[in-house]
Amino acid sequence: MQQLLNWTLETIRLEESSFSWMEEHRYDWTPLVKSAVSKVLDGQTILMVTDEDSRWFSRYVSTRINSLKSGRPLLSCYSLLSVFPNLSTLNTTQDIELLEDMLDISYPNGYFIWYIGRGDHQFTKLVFRNDENFMWVIDEQMPNSFTLRGSDPLLDIKLLQLYKLFNLTIDAALFSQVDLEL
């Protein structure tokens, strides 16, 4: 069983698409993905939320993460907007707390939010309340998040590559190929 950091580097290098950009970012990535995958293995639900520009990515992940061809157990992964379509109407701290209460009741094994989008989006009022969320933030440095540049012409490709790496990490952890200890 390999350590996650070494496995991540090896997986990046085996990727056929231009993924070398990730080698220098793997130290930022590894603790975040370790936390998210550990939560998945503990039975927590993934609630995806994105800004408008990244909504396509949420739809892509939703159709791929539980492919029956993957040969692994199905994961509890949903779009937060499909669970709570009124997300954009949350304005006050009390509104957010009511949503969090509903989510706590709905997901007794726990949940975490996987956010992909700009750091100044209105949904970040909810997302940034918990450092344990899995955050891919565009154009803003935030603690406990993976940062991407919105002006990067390869942003969409990088999102797909990161998803593939995340998905492979879940597989490796489920099938005891990787040790999630750093």
Q: Are 43 and 29 in contact (CB under 8 A)?
A: no
Average pLDDT over residues 150-157: 95
The superfamily (CATH) of domain 2-176 is: DNA replication regulator HobA (3.40.50.11670)
Average pLDDT over residues 82-106: 95
On average, the pLDDT of the chain sits at 94
33-73: pLDDT as tens digits: 999 999 999 999 999 999 999 999 999 999 999 998 888 99
Q: Where are the domains of the chain?
A: 2-176
Q: How many helices and strands (H and E) does the chain possess? A: 7, 7
Q: Are 5 and 169 in contact (CB under 8 A)?
A: no
pTM of the model as a whole: 0.94
Instruction: Write down the pLDDT at residue 102.
Output: 97
Instruction: Write down the pLDDT at residue 62.
Output: 93
Q: Are 178 and 7 in contact (CB under 8 A)?
A: yes
Average pLDDT over residues 161-181: 92
Give which of 157, 86, 76, 145 is closest to 111, Cα–Cα: 76
First vs last C-alpha separation in the chain? 13
Average pLDDT over residues 11-27: 88
